[in-house]
Chain A
């Protein structure tokens, strides 16, 4: 499945580093999502974008900063992270935000904060 791609697949960063996660969808969808997946919270919604506009920020700390330059691309900028931020970060897209549309997930970025 190559509808939604994410890079990098694995990332190790120190607490003082700045890095970015990239997501690209090739499905012509209008909504994109960032999820955090960890043992404590299996699928935790972070951000939602619809037509490049952020429509939801689920009380995510400011050290996570999303960016959606167009409907095909979504970024998650990371800075001064904490070890508890280590998790699998999943990007997803759907045809639209409203309505009965399934979400297509990317393979995820496995992030380790040291």
Chain B
């Protein structure tokens, strides 16, 4: 069945450093979504990418969808303490949305 792998599982950075999480699907996706879950909170939708090679930006966050529509990345420039949380990618296959395991980001102020 469809699998979505996300790396790294954990990432600790100093405030101000950059952060990147990668998402890889075993099958071609129709779209990929990204969610953020703050500590003690619930996943909240960030963005959706649909087109091959698409790049979208939200302030310091840059999202990319691979040319083959099987991988994606989220890059945060100059992290801030408010970026702490777990970032999930979710790949939309033919039948359902499959979530990756998430990358938990912690930041040293």
A residues lining the B interface (CB < 8 Å):
1, 41-43, 45, 48, 56, 90, 92, 97, 100, 102-108
Shortest Cβ gap from B80 to chain A (Å): 22
CA distance A42 to B86 in the complex (A): 10
On whether A108 and B88 interact (CB within 8 A), knowing A42-B99, A48-B96, A103-B97, the answer reads no
Q: Does B101 count as interface, using CB distance less than 8 angstroms?
A: yes
Residue-wise, chain B 29-47 has the 8 Å CB interface mask toward A (1 for contact) of: 0110101000001111100
Say whether chain A's binding surface is mostly helix, strand, loop, or mixed.
Answer: loop
Contacts of A104 in B (CB 8 A): 45
A56 touching B42, Cβ below 8 Å: no
CB-contact partner of B44 in A56, A97, A105, under 8 A: A105
A43 touching B42, Cβ below 8 Å: no
B residues lining the A interface (CB < 8 Å):
30-31, 33, 35, 41-45, 48, 50, 86, 88, 90, 92, 96-99, 101-102
CA distance A108 to B35 in the complex (A): 16
Residue of A41, A103, A107 with most partner-chain B CB within 10 A? A103
CB-contact partner of A43 in B33, B43, B92, under 8 A: B43
CA distance A92 to B43 in the complex (A): 10
Top 9 A-B residue pairs of the complex, sorted by shortest distance between their CB atoms: A102-B45, A43-B99, A105-B42, A42-B102, A100-B31, A105-B43, A42-B101, A107-B42, A108-B42
Contacts of B43 in A (CB 8 A): 43, 90, 92, 103, 105
Contacts of B45 in A (CB 8 A): 102-104
CA distance A42 to B4 in the complex (A): 13
CA distance A72 to B98 in the complex (A): 23
B42 touching A90, Cβ below 8 Å: yes
Residue of A43, A103, A105, A106 with most partner-chain B CB within 10 A? A43
